Amino acid sequence: MSLIIDRRLNDRNKSEANRQRFLRRYRRHIRKSVDKLVRDRSIKDMESGGQVSIRRRDMSEPGWRHGSGGQRDIVLPGNREFNQGDKLDRPPSGAEADGDGLGEDSEDDFTFALSRDEFMSIFFDDLELPNLLRTETGSIHELKPQRAGFVTEGNQANLDVVRSMKQAMARRIALSGSARRRLKELEQQTDENLTKKSYQQPESDISTQPVDENGQQSEDKPSNLELEREELRQRIARVPFIDTIDLRYRHRVFVPKPMSQAVMFCLMDVSASMDEHCKDLAKRFFTLLYMFLARKYEHVEVVFIRHTSEAEEVDENRFFNDRATGGTIVLPALQLLSEIIAERFPPHAWNLYGAQASDGDAFGADPEKSRNWLETQIMPLVRFYAYLEVGNTESSQVSTLAGVYQRIEQDNFAMNRAVRRSEIYPVFREFFQQRTEAANR
- pLDDT by residue, tens only, the chain of 441 residues: 566 666 665 555 567 777 778 777 877 788 788 777 766 665 445 666 777 778 777 767 777 777 766 777 777 677 778 787 888 777 775 444 444 444 444 556 778 777 777 777 777 665 555 544 444 444 556 677 888 889 998 888 899 999 999 999 998 888 888 888 888 888 888 888 778 777 666 555 544 555 555 555 555 556 787 888 888 888 888 888 888 899 999 998 888 766 678 999 999 998 888 888 888 889 888 988 888 888 888 888 999 999 988 999 999 888 888 777 777 899 999 999 999 999 999 988 889 999 999 988 888 889 999 999 999 999 999 999 999 999 877 777 788 899 999 999 888 999 999 988 888 888 888 887 755 444 444
Four-CA torsion 329, 335, 337, 338, nearest 10 degrees: 160
Q: Are 324 and 285 in contact (CB under 8 A)?
A: no
Domains of the chain: residue spans and CATH: 14-57+110-115 (no CATH), 141-200+221-258 (no CATH), 260-440 (3.40.50.410)
* Angle in degrees, CA 201, 203, 205, rounded to 5: 60
Residue type, 177: G
pTM over 0.85: no
The pLDDT value recorded for residue 135 is 46
Give 321-324 contacts, CB < 8 A, sequence gap 24+.
322/270, 323/270, 324/270, 324/271
pLDDT at 258 (0 to 100): 64
Measuring CA to CA, which residue among 378, 337, 354 is closest to residue 286?
354
Q: In angstroms, rounded to a whole number, what is the distance separating the alpha carbons of residues 185 and 191?
A: 10
The strand pair at 384-390 and 413-418 is best described as parallel
What does the longest C-alpha to C-alpha distance in the chain come to? 139
Enumerate the β-bridge partners of residue 256: 143
Q: CA 307, CA 268: separation in Å to the nearest integer?
A: 7
Q: For 430-439, which contacts have Cβ atoms below 8 Å and span 24 or more sequence positions?
A: 431/386, 432/127, 432/128, 432/129, 432/130, 432/292, 433/126, 433/127, 435/128, 435/129, 435/130, 435/384, 435/411, 436/126, 436/127, 436/128, 436/130, 438/130, 438/411, 439/128, 439/130, 439/131, 439/411
Distance CA 30, CA 227 (A): 84
Query: How many other CB atoms are there within 10 angstroms of residue 390's CB atom?
Result: 26
Beta strands 351-358 and 384-390, pairing class:
parallel
Residue 97: its pLDDT value, please? 47
R_g over Cα of the chain? 42
Alpha helices in 297-399 (DSSP H): 316-321, 331-344, 366-373
Report the distance separating Cα 160 and Cα 220, nearest Å. 51
Count of residues making up the chain: 441
| pLDDT score at 441 | 46
User: Pick from 320, 321, 313, 262: which is nearest to 290 by CA?
Assistant: 262
- b vs e for 320-345, b when ≥16 Cβ sit within 10 Å of the residue's Cβ? beeebeeebbbbbbbbbbeeebeeeb
Strand partners, 227: none
